[in-house]
Amino acid sequence: MRIIVQNERERDLIKRFVDLLTKDGGLDALEIHDDEISTEQDCFTRLNTDEYRLLSEELHNKIINIDGNIEEMLFEDDDVITGTCKICGIQTCGRRNGESVTYSDYLHSMSKEQQDNWLCLTCHEKQQETPA
Ligand SMILES: [Zn+2]
């Protein structure tokens, strides 16, 4: 199986996700869950045992390629970006422009350095007005 992502950060995310599925029993748990809901809802299993086996084998042998020309992974809503203002302590959510957030943007915004220097809009504007 070949998986194509846009950058290194996305490759790391997908690698950790696939490890969760293959090495840490995630796929087994999903198969059990699939079996349970299929029984409860009296319908066919969404994926059969052979299909789980195929996916498990393929995921173990995955190749993750990077192609900088494809679109980055996006959070549609910017509510994933949060922080606590270092001056007034107010919690903020989202970004000023309200645009979608790439995974790279998210990692950057949630980094310790960014979080330690987080400013709400009011404090940010006050700081801009104050001459250094
Ligand atoms: Zn503030």
What confidence tens digit (pLDDT) does each residue in 58-107 have? Answer: 999 999 999 999 999 999 999 999 999 999 999 999 988 889 999 999 99
Q: Is residue 42 over pLDDT 70?
A: no
Residue 91 CA to ligand 1 center (angstroms) comes to 8
Give the pLDDT band of residue 45 (cuts 50, 70, 90): low
pLDDT at position 29, please? 94
Q: Above pLDDT 70, what percent of the chain?
A: 95
Q: Please determine, for residue 54, whether its predicted confidence score (pLDDT) is greater than 90.
A: yes
Distance of CA 118 from the midpoint of ligand 1 (Å): 8
Ion ligand 1, residue ranges at CB < 5 A: 85, 87-88, 120, 123
Q: Report how far ligand 1's centroid is from the alpha carbon of 90 (Å).
A: 6
Centre of ligand 1 to C-alpha 79, Å, is 18
Spatial contact of 95 and 76, defined as CB atoms under 8 Å apart: no
pLDDT in the model for residue 76: 94
Q: Whole-number mean pLDDT of the chain?
A: 92
pLDDT value, residue 40? 72
Q: How far is the CA of 7 from the centre of ligand 1 (A)?
A: 33
49 and 34 Cβ atoms separated by less than 8 Å = no
The string of DSSP codes covering 17-47 is HHHHHHTSSHHHHHHHHHHHHHHHTTS--SS
pLDDT confidence bin for 28, thresholds 50/70/90: very high
Helix axes 26-40, 8-22, angle to 10 degrees: 60
Q: Is the pLDDT of residue 34 over 80?
A: yes
How many angstroms separate the alpha carbon of residue 124 from the centre of ligand 1? 7
In the reported structure, the alpha carbon of residue 14 is separated from the centroid of ligand 1 by a whole-number distance in angstroms of 35
CA of 70 to the centre of ligand 1 (A): 37
Q: What is the mean pLDDT of residues 16-34?
A: 92
What pTM, to 2 d.p., does this model score?
0.82
| Predicted local confidence at residue 132, as pLDDT | 58
